[in-house]
Each structure stands twice: as C-alpha cells, then as structure tokens.
Amino acid sequence: MIVVTGGAGFIGSALVWALNKQGRKDIIVVDEANLSDEKKQNLSHLKLKDYLDKDPFIEKIRRSGLMATKKTEAVIHMGACSDTTETNEQFLMENNYEYTKTLCKYCLNNKVRFIYASSAATYGDGSKGYSDSEQIIDRLKPLNLYGKSKQLFDKWAKDNKLLDKIVGLKYFNVFGPNEYHKGEMRSVVLKAYQQIKATGKMRLFKSYRAEYADGEQKRDFLYIKDAVDMTLFFLDRLEVNGIFNVGSGIGQPWNELANAIFKALGKKPDIEYFDMPEELKERYQYFTQADISKLRNAGYDKSITPLEESVRDYVQNYLIPHSHLA
C-alpha cells in the first residue's frame, strides 16, 4: 500500500495518476476534509483504496501508527502549504515542518519508504547556486516563509543524519494538468493561457539588469509528467537516498515559453513587458537551473520532454478542453 499526502493537489494527484498507469490501485490519498471542486476533479477518474482527512490522519500516526506496517510500502509526502506569500509562520511550522517530522519518524520506525517534497524555494536568490549537495544546506537562505519551512526540515534531516535513509525532492518550476485549483500559485503557462484567451496578449516583467533583455530572464521549467516520473524513480530503489533536484536541468527564457504557448494556440506571439513591482525588484530571480547530475548519477536516464512539446501537450490536450489527468 502507498500513501500519498497532498494527493488531491497538483503533484500529488499526478502521482496517483502515474501509479494507476502502472497498475497500482492500492493507494491511500491524504488531503483536506473539504476539497474544492477542482481538487475533486483531480481525483474523479483515479483509482484509490481510501481517502483520509489530513488532520485525523496525522493524529492517528502520532497516537498509534497508521496500519499494519507490513501493508505500508511507502509514504510519498507532497502535502504542505505551498503558498510563497503565506505570512503565518506558526501555521507553516506546524503544517509543513512538524507534520513532515512526524511522518518521517513514523516511516523510519516502521521501515516504510519515505519520499518528501522539499522545494527549489530553499535556494533563495540563487546566489549559492542550485546544487543539491547536502554540504550546502546550511548556507541556503530562502526568500519567503514557505521556503524557510522546507529548508528547516532539510536541515533537521541532515543534522539528525537521516538523509541516507529518506528521499527529499526539490521541485523547480513544474507546470501541467491538475493545477487549476492553485490560484495565484498556478504556473505561468496556465496564467498566460488565460491572459491570451482574454486579451490576445501575454504579459511578462521587464528586465532591470543589463545582461538580460526583457523576457530573457530564465527559469528551469519542468512538465508534470516528467516530475512524477522522476519522483517514482525512487519508489523501488531503496538504496538511493538523499536530497535531489527535480528539474529539466536547462534554464530557458520566458520569451521561449511564451512563444511555445502562442504556437500551441496557433497564434502569432504578442508579448507585453510591464514594470515589476518595486518590492519584487530586489528579490527577483533572473536565472534558475537545476543541477540534475546527482539524479542522473543515481541512475535516472530517461530523456526530459522538450519545453515546446510539453507546452503543446498541456495546452491542446488539457487547457483547451479543461480536462484533468485520467
């Protein structure tokens, strides 16, 4: 049996979809008690063994454990508040940090595979680079409380010498179907699709650094189908542990992403560059690129879907019909 926390969310529901494609239906999904309609749609066509509310679930873990350990193969912990603008530090410490610690301890005590979502937000402004080496964990300075909550767990696992027993995954800019519910945390692909439908244009921030032209700031974009494939790579490889970047390994310009979206829609590119808010100028990342050499060295040898192909699949097969992974 596999437990997927945050299993009605973006990456979580995509993992359930991928497991179903492998023939796995022995999946317990853990998420909120009252799901939005879009989150319900994420699960509507998927096969589960059970669905549990996240609060009673963690209380049961704390009191007496989840179930007979011989039936629990793995916990894939994607559940967290992923809002980078969240300002309630106490909530994030309990919901992201303490919750993850409790699950981790349970899994280690019961010999259950533990795979958890860290975040590329732990890299902060990128000045320390994007290496997933455990040696740099203590030097990283996240720019927001969400990133801090993820960084604290990575550091706790390192300080307690647990990183050779568990897997932490730092997801970069993941986009794709099943993210409709994410509000302001939706990917730029989804936001741009909606902008283009409404106005015919796509808006991008102007650049304020001479070495980057407008729209040439770069991000490491990764399609959800590649992200879940990378995640499930670790499920049966019990000898592979540690923190790993999950990205394409290529920083690509916003303009390139924009052109791919317009092409998928059969439209001529029309990009409007607008002023960045003053409060963002000092914190804006001009370049991100995951170092995925550690993942490759661990044995992940599949090719990563090119950006244009990923965008075309997302736009034409999911956004236009407003469909979910099924």
Is residue 258 within 8 Å of residue 195, measured between CB atoms?
no
Rounded to two decimals, the pTM is: 0.95
> Which entry of 97, 146, 223, 314 is annotated as an active-site residue?
146
Residue 132 is given by DSSP the state -
Is residue 152 within 8 Å of residue 116, measured between CB atoms?
no
pLDDT of residue 69: 44
Alpha-carbon gap, residue 4 to 181, rounded angstroms: 18
pLDDT of residue 67: 57
182 is a catalytic site residue: yes
Is residue 58 within 8 Å of residue 99, measured between CB atoms?
yes
Residue 111 backbone zone (phi > 0: left; psi -120 to 50: alpha; other: beta):
left
> Which entry of 101, 105, 182, 263 is annotated as an active-site residue?
182
The percent helix, strand, coil of the chain (3-state, each to 5) is 45, 15, 40
Q: Which amino acid is it at 139? A: R
Q: How far is CA 137 from CA 47, 103, 168, 239, in A?
A: 38, 21, 12, 22
Dihedral over Cα of 265, 270, 271, 272: its sign: negative
Q: Which amino acid is it at 110? A: N
CATH numbers and ranges of domains, the chain? 2-175+221-249+289-302 (3.40.50.720)
pLDDT of residue 222: 98
pLDDT of residue 283: 80
pLDDT of residue 68: 46
146 is a catalytic site residue: yes
Residue with tokens 């490759």: 296
| pLDDT tens series, the chain, 326 aa | 999 999 999 999 999 999 999 999 999 999 999 999 999 999 999 999 999 999 999 999 988 766 544 588 999 999 998 888 899 999 999 999 999 999 999 999 999 999 999 999 999 989 999 999 999 999 999 989 999 999 999 999 999 999 999 999 999 999 999 999 999 999 999 999 999 999 999 999 999 999 999 999 999 999 999 999 999 999 989 999 999 999 999 999 999 999 999 999 999 999 999 999 998 888 888 999 999 999 999 999 999 999 999 999 999 999 999 999 99
